[in-house]
């Protein structure tokens, strides 16, 4: 298959991206929330610990987006984001399929690695495979919360990506929202916004509680953001399916080629 032969590096990078994000999430949450961790004992305030987790994951997201591999694949690392770009015709259907498969595989492998390294500190409550489950307010509130935060993220991405002045800050804006959502919204739904992220936690041994919420609300929220954006008569002509689009990196989505084809990752 010609597309697979030419684009497999980008698929691998998408798997790596979500794998790294999930591995970071598992280790950071275990470090701060496992009762036997020195940091957990040092920081008794649960809100402060959650804010630190949010900060760590925001920094992780930004790091992935702006690494050479993230710049090469586009660092979508989320099936809901990929489906939104497919809706906007910014990614080819076959590439979208392989991106989504890679995201599910990469996220799952990332958490299996954490489980192997940390054992009970990762698998037992309260860390519990960093699973995303509804908070005390119940599944209905969790669904609405996931839909709204996903809509907010995609509206922000669309606004930044289609601005000549703000385009290169798309990844940073996304990372700030990730940090903010974990800090403020996580008690309502666990803050997923990502079907592959929720699947990875469940596949590593976590609960499958109300998984349907995390497979539907993020996708509906992000696709709704596209419709709202269009209703505001905003154009998506400028954007590509990359959160960061440097000129020196090839792009399989818009066909951009760097001035030189001698980049170490070019195939």
pLDDT tens string 122-145: 999 999 999 999 999 999 999 999
Banded pLDDT at 264 (limits 50, 70, 90): very low
Please give the average per-residue pLDDT across 137-161, as a whole number. 97
Alpha helices in the chain (DSSP H): 2-33, 38-42, 46-66, 68-73, 79-87, 93-118, 120-123, 139-161, 170-184, 186-189, 195-203, 211-231
In CATH terms, the superfamily for domain 2-231 is: Glycerol uptake facilitator protein. (1.20.1080.10)
**Tokens at 242, concatenated:** 């990359």
Joined together, the tokens standing for residue 58 give 């925001």
Whole-prediction pTM: 0.94
pLDDT tens-digit profile of 48-94? 999 999 999 999 999 999 999 999 999 999 999 999 999 999 999 99
Cα–Cα distance measured from residue 109 to residue 107, given in angstroms and rounded to the nearest whole number: 6
HSE toward the beta carbon, residue 20, CA cutoff 13 A: 20
Quote the percentage of the chain above a pLDDT of 70: 97
Lowest mean pLDDT among 4-8, 32-36, 174-178, 225-229: 4-8
């Amino acid at each position: 298959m010609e597309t697979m032969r030419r684009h497999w590096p980008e698929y691998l990078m998408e798997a790596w991206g979500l794998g790294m994000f999930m591995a970071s999430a598992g280790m950071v949450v275990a470090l701060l929330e496992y009762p036997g961790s020195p940091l957990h004992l040092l920081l008794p305030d649960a809100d402060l610990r959650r804010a630190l987790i949010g900060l760590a994951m925001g920094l992780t997201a930004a790091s992935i987006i702006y690494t050479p591999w993230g710049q090469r694949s586009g660092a979508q690392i989320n099936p809901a984001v990929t489906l939104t770009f497919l809706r906007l015709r910014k990614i080819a259907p076959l590439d979208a399929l392989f991106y989504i498969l890679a995201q599910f595989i990469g996220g799952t492998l990332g958490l299996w690695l954490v489980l192997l390294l940390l054992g009970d500190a990762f698998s037992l409550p309260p860390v519990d495979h960093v699973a995303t489950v509804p908070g005390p307010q119940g599944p209905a509130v969790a669904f609405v919360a996931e839909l709204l935060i996903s809509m907010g993220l995609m509206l922000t991405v669309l606004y930044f990506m289609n601005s000549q002045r703000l385009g290169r800050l798309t990844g940073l804006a996304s990372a700030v929202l990730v940090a903010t959502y974990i800090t403020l919204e996580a008690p309502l739904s666990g803050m997923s916004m990502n079907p592959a992220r929720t699947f990875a936690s469940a596949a590593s041994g976590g609960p499958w509680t109300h998984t349907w919420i995390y497979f539907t609300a993020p996708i509906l929220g992000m696709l709704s953001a596209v419709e709202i954006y269009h209703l505001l008569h905003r154009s998506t002509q400028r954007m590509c399916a990359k959160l960061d689009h440097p000129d020196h990196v090839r792009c399989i989505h818009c066909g951009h080629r760097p001035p030189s084809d001698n980049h170490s990752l070019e195939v």
